[in-house]
Structures are given as C-alpha cells and as structure tokens.
C-alpha cells in the first residue's frame, strides 16, 4: 500500500483509491463543481474509487440542518451519477437529506453517505448513527440519527470491500467493527472533524486504532477549510500511515492490495480470537 502508484493503473488485485480533501461551503452549485473537479483528478490518476468527505453537498461549520439538505433525487446525487458514469469511477460521498416531519419541532436533516457504482447507479446509503453532541456542539438539534439496526453500507470495488462510517462514529469502536463483521476489509471514514485542542491527535489516533484493532485498512477523509481540520489519512491494517494530508485542500491516491490485508490478518488473527460480538442497541 505504500509504494508509488503506477501511472498505467492499479495492478490487480490492488484497488486504487483517490481521497479528495475538499472545502465545501453553503453554495451547492460551487460544491458540485468541486465534485466534478475531484472526479477529474481521480480519473486522471486512474482511480477505481473516489472518496469525498462528510457534507460534500453543503457544509457550514456552524451546523448543517434542513436548510442545507436536498433529496437523493436532487442535483447533488445527479452530479455524482453523471460523473461516475462518465469516468467509470465508483464514489462514496457525504450529503444531508431532508428528515421526516415531526409535530412540535423544527424540521431536521439526516446526515447521509451515498455510494454510487461505476455506472452511476446508487448502490447504498448510510445514515449517520452517532450525532455529534459533544465538545459544546449539539448536532441532534439539526439532525435526525440514522437507525442503529440498518444494514451496514459495504461497497465492493473489484473484489475489495469498503465499509462506510461517518465522522463522530470514529469514536465508537463498535461502529467500525460492525462494518468489518459485514465483510469490510477497508474502513471509509468520511468526516468534517471540528477544530479544537487535540482534535488532530484524536482523529489520527482513533483512525489508527480502528485500523489496528480491525486489521483493516482505513481511508479517513476530512473536509478542509473553516472550522475543520482536514488531515485526511490512509492507514494500513498494521497501523502504518501510508498517505496523509495537512489542513489544505488536496488529493491523495493510494493502491490498496487485499493480499496485504490478508497477510496482516494471518499474522494477527485478532478478529478470529475475539470473544464478544457487536449488536444493535
């Protein structure tokens, strides 16, 4: 996973992943252009998969709610469809969809990750379970949590399985373990990780821990820009960081080889040796 990518494309069984650390704003149209540009970068790198952050469709560091939400048949997902079909690149990206109406309270949104295949077909969604009610923030004032018993979002890309969690989920080991139990060999963590004391250390440490304890590669992509840390990472299943970005807008492309993951799992069979299981509750 740490060797330079081959300009001719990935050597199978490796899967090439482009991480796009963008800076979304409240301007939906401008954000869609960021998506187009990210697909162009991924296609130029001959990537199989493009990973975009939480809230790619629209982001406000003061909070994302119903005013920034759009339905899955809206222009953001339509742009993903068009770009995936045009480039043949699978994509995982974050958006917010309108929540269900509820008597007696303001309308909220649902923080949602979407996955589209190389033909542009929507193949799955994940609605964020753990809302960021911490460090002086109350995400639940603006968002509805996803159902805890929903099937995990695991996306197959050329035989390698990517399981998706979102931002604050990273602080809950059972979230990652649940997608690994569903067959994920790579954890995709899409974030807009808020700035603050020790926040970069928390992000890096937690992402590394999720890799080691699950003997899974981790692709952790964050928003850049105001109020967030950036610092996207790709981590091997033994905890070695193989690609990292700073706080600025940038992309990184890495080949992830399932034989490397299998070798780590053979040397360190911690998944086979465990004595507890994760259940929804």
- Give 223-237 pLDDT, tens digit per residue: 999 999 999 999 999
The Cα 46–Cα 39 span in angstroms is 10
Higher pLDDT, 176 or 5: 176
At 103 the pLDDT is: 78
- Give 238-252 pLDDT, tens digit per residue: 999 999 999 999 999
Are 150 and 125 in contact, with CB atoms under 8 Å apart? no
**Annotation says 128 is catalytic:** yes
Q: Catalytic: which of 54, 70, 139, 213?
A: 54
The Cα 99–Cα 88 span in angstroms is 31
Cα radius of gyration (the chain): 17
For tokens 């998944």, name the residue. 271
- Give 183-199 pLDDT, tens digit per residue: 999 999 999 999 999 99
Q: Catalytic: which of 70, 144, 167, 213?
A: 167
**Annotation says 70 is catalytic:** no
**Annotation says 195 is catalytic:** no
Percent of the chain having pLDDT more than 90? Answer: 93
Q: Catalytic: which of 70, 128, 144, 213?
A: 128
Model confidence at 119: pLDDT above 70? yes
Model confidence at 102: pLDDT above 90? no
Q: Pairing between strand 122-127 and 154-157?
A: unpaired
């Amino acid at each position: 996973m740490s060797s330079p990518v081959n300009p001719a494309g990935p050597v199978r069984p490796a899967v090439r992943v482009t991480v796009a650390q963008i800076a979304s704003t409240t301007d939906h149209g401008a954000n869609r252009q960021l998506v187009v540009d990210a697909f162009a970068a991924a296609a130029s790198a001959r990537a199989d998969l493009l990973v975009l952050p939480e809230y790619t469709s629209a982001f406000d560091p003061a909070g994302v709610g119903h005013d920034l939400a759009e339905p899955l048949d809206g222009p953001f997902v339509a742009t993903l469809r068009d770009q995936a079909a045009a480039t043949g690149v699978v994509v995982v990206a974050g958006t917010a969809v309108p929540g269900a109406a509820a008597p007696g309270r303001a309308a909220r949104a649902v923080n949602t990750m979407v996955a589209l295949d190389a033909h542009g077909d929507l193949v799955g969604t994940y609605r964020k379970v753990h809302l960021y009610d911490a460090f002086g923030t109350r995400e639940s004032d603006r968002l509805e949590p996803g159902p805890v018993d929903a099937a995990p979002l695991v996306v197959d890309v050329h035989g390698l399985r990517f399981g998706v969690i979102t931002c604050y989920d990273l602080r809950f080991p059972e979230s990652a373990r649940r997608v690994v139990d569903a067959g994920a060999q790579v954890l995709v963590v899409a974030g807009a990780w808020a700035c603050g004391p020790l926040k970069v250390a928390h992000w890096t440490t937690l992402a590394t821990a999720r890799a080691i304890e699950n003997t899974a590669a981790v692709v952790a992509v964050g928003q850049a820009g105001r109020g967030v840390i950036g610092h996207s990472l790709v981590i091997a299943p033994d905890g070695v960081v193989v690609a990292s970005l700073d706080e600025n807008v940038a992309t990184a492309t890495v080949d992830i080889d399932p034989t490397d993951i299998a070798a780590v799992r053979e040397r360190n069979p911690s998944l086979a040796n465990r004595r507890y299981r994760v259940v929804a509750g």
